[in-house]
Structure 1
Amino acid sequence: MADHNNQQKRIHPLADVEAPRSPSPTHPLFPRNTSKSDNPNDDHHRSPSQPIPRRTFPVSHSKPPKRKRSCLCRLLCWTFSLLLILIIAVGITVGVIYLIFRPKMPKFSVDQLQVVQFNLSGSNSLSATFDARITATNPNKRIGIYYEGGSNIEAWYEETNLARGSFPKFYQGHRNTTALTVIMTGQTEDASGLFNRLQQQQQETGNIPLNLKVKQPVRVKLGKLKLFKVKFRVRCRLVVDSLTAQNGIRIQNSSCKFRGIRL
């Protein structure tokens, strides 16, 4: 009886072999790339032709490299800084030089003008020769002036160039005044009308206006330092009583002004 009870205890219930098996899930409960709706009845109300909503994700684009741009900005900043420093340095240097040397423009004056030749030939050619005495003054206390070759001085009446000449080469020291004698010669073709106008103006007004235009290259000496060559322009306005040769000519008015400086 005891053995029979032990056998009953060893018997275990077995699964029903003939019962149909539920298929194992091979697909996910929700389609991929879709989100589960909070409403469980949404799938029952969606029509078969309606597409299943898909979740979209923002696309992140990579930013372009900024290395080249930053290098260019740095180069421009350095260039601008160097130029600014250079301009400031030049300005300071010029200011120091001005305070130390106190530069002043030289002065010119036409003291005497003699007409050596001024006549009209049979071929309507006007020949003119002037002998001018010009005084150059250097008012600077610490600056010397070298008058270089290649100068040009011209005598004009209205728009006609009557004669031309040049200054001699010389050095003018500090606070020095130098008297120069300049000879100007020239010849004008087809000048019968010009000669008649000069005679008529002399008879009517008693004076004749002339212009002396000077172009003179110079080098400035600051202490022991000789600077680069520059060229200044001077214009002198004269009023004389006549242009008759071999007669004393009186200068009624004379004024000279600087017109500019070029390198």
Structure 2
Amino acid sequence: MAEQQKIHPVPDVEAPPQTSPTAPLVPEGTLKSDRGKPVEEYPPFQRTLPAMHPKPPKKRSCFCRCLCWTLSLFLLLIVILGIIVGILFLVFQPKLPKYSIDRLQITQFDLSSVDSSLSATFDVSITARNPNKRIGIYYEGGSRINVWYTETKLCEGSMPKFYQGHRNTTVLLLPLSGQIQNGTGLLTTLQEQQQQTGNIPLRLRVKQPVRVKLGKLKLMKLKFSVRCGLVVDALSANNAIRIQSSSCKFRLRL
């Protein structure tokens, strides 16, 4: 039996080496320079800013809402009251009353022989004028009238209750009385001033509660004060006292 021959495959030396047809010669992302070396390409520089997040709106608290409503209602009330006062002013055209002291008579002004107290009794004539066409004045009880010399109260009294109508003039004759303890020094001072200057300054103060009547509407009680300064030629009993000057100022308080 003939010996079998072994056949060995011979490689083809003329075949080119197998390479991947899609492999690039230059790595991706680089540029080929003139010398054959690849040049890396960098992305352009970009400046990044921090992200800005909008702040959530603040919620108003219940207190702020209540305060805003309260202020709005208060302003509205002021506007309404201003309108009402303006209408009343145009309709009634209010004017302040006027007062004057017309006469002063002293019925008693002497010292007591027992305790040296000074007793004083004055009769004061006051004229009250109401110039309003549609406004009346109710003079209520609880008034007070004082007569002062410097810091010493000489006598006091009150006004009667009465109603003063529209455009009315009322003359009041008011008795005032008082007693000053240790009046010897005061009487001496008054006599010296009368001899030196020929006049004695006095101050008269009136505090009076009233009610104003607008048409048929009677308003709440108010208080007014009258301050009068007068100068007389003497302070002595049973003599004619002449008023040299007199001026009064009116002031209203709620």
| Range class of TM-score, shorter chain | 0.7 to 0.9
RMSD across aligned positions (CA): 1.8
Looking at structure 2, the residues matched to 84 and 132 of structure 1 have their Cα atoms a distance apart, in angstroms, of 48
1:196 aligned residue (188, 191, 208): 188
For residues 175 and 72 of structure 1, the distance between their equivalents in structure 2, rounded to whole angstroms, comes to 53
Three-state SS of the structure 2 residue aligned to 1:248 is coil
**Quick check: 1:94 aligned with 2:94?**
no
User: Which residue of structure 2 aligns with residue 133 of structure 1?
Assistant: 125
Which has the larger share of helix? 1
- Trace 1:50-129 onto structure 2 (pairs within 5 A): 69-122=60-113, 123-129=115-121
**In structure 1, how many angstroms separate the alpha carbons of the residues matched to 2:233 and 2:63?**
70
Q: Which of the numbers 201, 205, 211 marks the counterpart of 1:219?
A: 211
Give the drift of 1:202. 0.7
For residue 72 of structure 1, report the CA deviation from its aligned partner.
2.7
Identify the residue that residue 143 of structure 1 maps to in structure 2.
135
| In 1, Cα distance between equivalents of 2:126 and 2:64 | 59
* Number of residue pairs aligned between Structure 1 and Structure 2: 201
In structure 2, the residue matched to 1:154 is 146
- For 2:127 and 2:90, the matched residues in 1 are separated by 28
What is the percentage of aligned positions where both structures have the same residue? 67
Which residue type is aligned with residue 87 of structure 1? I
State the Cα distance separating 1:73 from its structure 2 match. Answer: 2.4
Q: Pick from 225, 234, 241: which aligns with 2:233?
A: 241
CA shift, 1:66, in A, is 6.1
| 1:97 aligned counterpart, secondary structure | helix
Point out where structure 2 has 5 or more consecutive residues left out of the alignment. 1-55
1:9-88, aligned counterparts within 5 Å?
69-88=60-79
Give the Å deviation of 1:78: 1.1
Aligned equivalents of 2:131 and 2:238: distance in 1?
A: 36
Consecutive unaligned residues of structure 1, counting only runs of 5 or more, are 1-62
Match of 1:210 in 2: 202
Counterpart in the other structure of 1:22: none
Which letter does structure 2 place at the counterpart of 1:104?
Answer: K
TM-score (norm 1): 0.73
Output the CA distance in 2 between the equivalents of 1:177 and 1:146. 14
